[in-house]
Amino acid sequence: MKLTDLSQGLTRIGLGCMNLSHAYGTPPSEEEGIKMLQQAFDLGVRHFDTAALYGFGRNETLVGKALSGNRDQLFLASKCGMTGVDGKRVIDGRPETLVATLDAALERLQTDHIDLYYLHRWDKNVPIEDSVGALSRLVEAGKIGAIGLSEVSADTIAKAHAVHPIAAVQTEYSLWTRNAELAVLGACESLGIAFVAFSPLARGFLADGVASPEVLEEGDIRRNMPRFKEPNFSSNAELLASFKFKAAELNITPAQLSLAWLLAKSPNIYPIPGTRYFSHLEENMAAANVSLSAAVIAELDALINQSTVSGGRYPPATQAEIDTEEFA
C-alpha cells in the first residue's frame, strides 16, 4: 500500500502513535494502548505512524501486538536515525545503525516489511546521501516499501531525492507552526512527495487540551517548549479564545477546525494527530467531512501564524538538531 492510496475520505487522517508510549507524561497501560489502536482501525484509520524512538522500542512493540493481525490492510510507517541508547535519545544516521534499527523494528512490529521508513532526524555528522543510500538498499531488499525524511530543509530533500526517490516528508505543521510554508511544502509538491503533518493540533493546544502549563505532568516534553511557558502561554491563550469562538460559530470543535484547515491547504497533506482517547479519535476523524470557505481559511491564517504566536516551538538545544527552515 502507498500513502497516496489513502487520499480519499476518513483514511487521509492517520494516527500518530507516539503519545501511547512516549513524551507526554504517564502513558496508558499496554492494554489501553492496544485497545486504542484497534479502535482506530475499526473506525477506519489505516495510516499508523510509530518510531524506534517512541518508548525506546515499546511503541513499535505495542503497534505490532495490536495490529499485526490486520497487517495487509495497513499503511505502516516507522522511523530510524534517532533511538534510545542507555536511556538517552541519540541521533545516529550511520548506515550500519539504520540497518540494525530496522531489523529490530521488524521484529517488534511483527512484520517482514515497513511501508514507509523515515530518517527521523538527519545526523549532521553523516552525509544525507550516505543515510539515504543505506535506506535505498533496504528498499531493494524488500524490507521497506519507501523512504521518508523528517524535519529536513528543502535543500536536504533535494540532495536525498537525487540518491533515491523520497516518498514522504514529515514535519510539524499547524496554524501555529508554519515553517513548512517557507520551502518544504513547495519542494514536496514539485517533486511529487507526500507531506505528513505531525502535531497538527499544536500538541493539543489548538484542541483546547492544555488549560495551563501547570496541568502538564513531569516528563511531558511540552514543559520545556517555549510556547507552553509563561508569558508565552498566556499570550497564545488569547489567540486560542478567538479560535474557539470561530469553531463554535461553525458548529465544530477546535480540533476539527485545526484539521480541516490543514486538509484544505493541499490534497498532498496527510495529518497524523495523536490521542489516547476514543472520543477524541472520533472527533478528529470527523474533520475529514468539514469544508471551510476561502474566507474562513484567510481569517484563520491571519489569526494564528508565525507573527502572532509567542515563543519558539523547541528549546535551543533541540532546535539545533533539526534542519527545517526557520522564519527570521
Q: Which run of H or of E encompasses 257? A: helix 254-265
* 265-277: pLDDT as tens digits: 999 999 999 999 9
Please tell me the distance from the alpha carbon of residue 46 to that of residue 100, in angstroms, as a whole number.
27
In a domain, 18, yes or no: yes
* 12-33: pLDDT as tens digits: 999 999 999 998 989 999 999 9
Please tell me the distance from the alpha carbon of residue 177 to that of residue 200, in angstroms, as a whole number.
9
In a domain, 283, yes or no: yes
**Scanning the structure block, which residue is given the C-alpha cell 488569547?**
238
203: CATH: 3.20.20.100
72: phi then psi, degrees, rounded to nearest 5:
-70, -5
Q: How many domains are there within the chain?
A: 1
In a domain, 244, yes or no: no
Please tell me the distance from the alpha carbon of residue 239 to that of residue 306, in angstroms, as a whole number.
12
Q: What is the pTM of this model?
A: 0.96
In a domain, 309, yes or no: no
In a domain, 107, yes or no: yes
In a domain, 29, yes or no: yes
Q: Which run of H or of E encompasses 118? A: strand 114-119
Q: Which run of H or of E encompasses 166? A: strand 166-172
In a domain, 298, yes or no: no
Q: What residues does 75 pair with on adjacent strands?
A: 47
* 256-305: pLDDT as tens digits: 999 999 999 999 999 999 999 999 999 999 999 999 999 999 999 999 99
Q: What is the pLDDT confidence band of residue 9, given thresholds at 50, 70 and 90?
A: low
Question: In the predicted model, is pLDDT for residue 8 greater than 90?
Answer: no
Enzyme catalytic residues: 54
The residue segments making up the domain with residue 122 are: 3-209+254-290
